[in-house]
Amino acid sequence: MIICCYNSAARLPETLRHMAAQRVSGAFPWELLMVVDRATKDDTVKIIESFRSQFAPDQLRLVYEPKRGLGLARIKGALEARYEYLSFVDDDNWVPSDWVEIIHRTFTRLPEATAFGGHGDAVFEHGTGPAWFDQFAVAYAVGSQYAEAGEITDKPTSLLWGASLTIRRSSFRALLDLGFEFTCTEKLGPELFALVRARPCEDTELCFALRAMGGRFFYVPELTYKHFMASDRLNWPGVRKMFRGHGRSGVFCHLILAATRWQMTPEKARRERNWRFHVVRALRRLAGIAVRHPITMITKAEGSAARLQADALLGELEMLLHLRDQCATYFDLYEARYRAKPKAA
């Protein structure tokens, strides 16, 4: 299991207590790998060290990642991990005591699986969440990712959440051997990286990359975790800010989607490469919301899906303006990288 940490001290104790409670009946080994961002300034490392005695010798390991970004931390975890199955658990996820057992059993049952994801249940800091939470729960990796269990490789999205994302190490490493790297890193430059940093699209890009290698994905709701919801994440201004971040990183996600559509005509491809096309489409959608919900557009409209849709579109427009000279470049990059469909050995 891998947990990527950045200033995680307040969230880690309960998460690590659940990790330490793992009960494995089989004879297979497992470890908990903590990948800590070197920019961390709180007591994250002290908290990790305080739990060593609750694990078997050398079962809890700590490594550092010098560069910022969740994607780079996950790559570090994949490179450092000793065993074949990698399960990425967020620092506020509480897993059941049979988490490792379920992962081993699932990969044994599905030898064709490259990756699978599970189901999230919210646990609120003060017992209950805001009235609007259920409507937007999926934005917090809470609820069911798909309507039913089974293979989702050919679903319209073919995506799995980063929380509970479980991958074969050999598949991840084969991807890295092919030169894979995440787009939304500091290589974007300080200004662009600052825009996408709060809500990068690593999960989307990783799933597309694995699928391009011929990977197969499954939804396994039996793999159910608790997602602790701190109260400071559930205020309406914070939700609006999060959706604006969704809109910014969504530009990259949409370019990946468009560039990997197999039936795209040359004319359609030319439109998708043009940042003005995306700006016009976003403006039309924003205008539609304004017509249908005029009051929403000029108020905070707490609990309104239209308000959050508008915020996401505003974030998309903001990113498109910054990418106006690079939109075609990223489209071409994704087309070359993910339509070639290289096969892992």
Strands 60-65 and 32-37: parallel
Q: pLDDT digit string (tens) for 300-335?
A: 999 999 999 999 999 999 999 999 999 999 999 888
Q: How far apart are CA 280 and CA 4, in angstroms?
A: 38
Separation between Cα atoms, residue 37 and residue 22, nearest integer Å: 25
In the chain, the domains with their CATH numbers are: 2-178+213-234 (3.90.550.10), 244-338 (no CATH)
Q: In the prediction, which pLDDT does 319 show?
A: 94
Q: What is the DSSP pairing of strand 85-87 with strand 166-168? A: antiparallel
Name the token pair of 337: 């990288």
- Model-level pTM? 0.89
What is the residue whose two structure tokens read 């903590």?
A: 34
DSSP, res 342: P
Segments of the chain scoring below 70 in pLDDT: 198-200, 262, 340-345
Cα 40 to the center of its chain, rounded Å: 20
Structure tokens at 173: 């490493």
What percent of the chain is helix, strand and coil (3-state, nearest 5)?
50, 15, 35
- Cβ of 185: how many Cβ atoms within 10 Å? 19
Are 75 and 169 in contact by the 8 Å Cβ rule? The answer is: no
Q: d(Cα 75, Cα 97) in Å, to the nearest integer?
A: 26
At residue 216, the pLDDT reads 95
Cross-strand bridge partners of residue 225? 120
CA torsion sign, 231 to 145 to 100 to 201? negative
pLDDT for position 343: 46
Angle, vertex CA 150, rays to CA 146 and CA 153, nearest 5: 80
Which bin fits 92, alpha (ψ -120 to 50), beta or left (φ > 0)? alpha
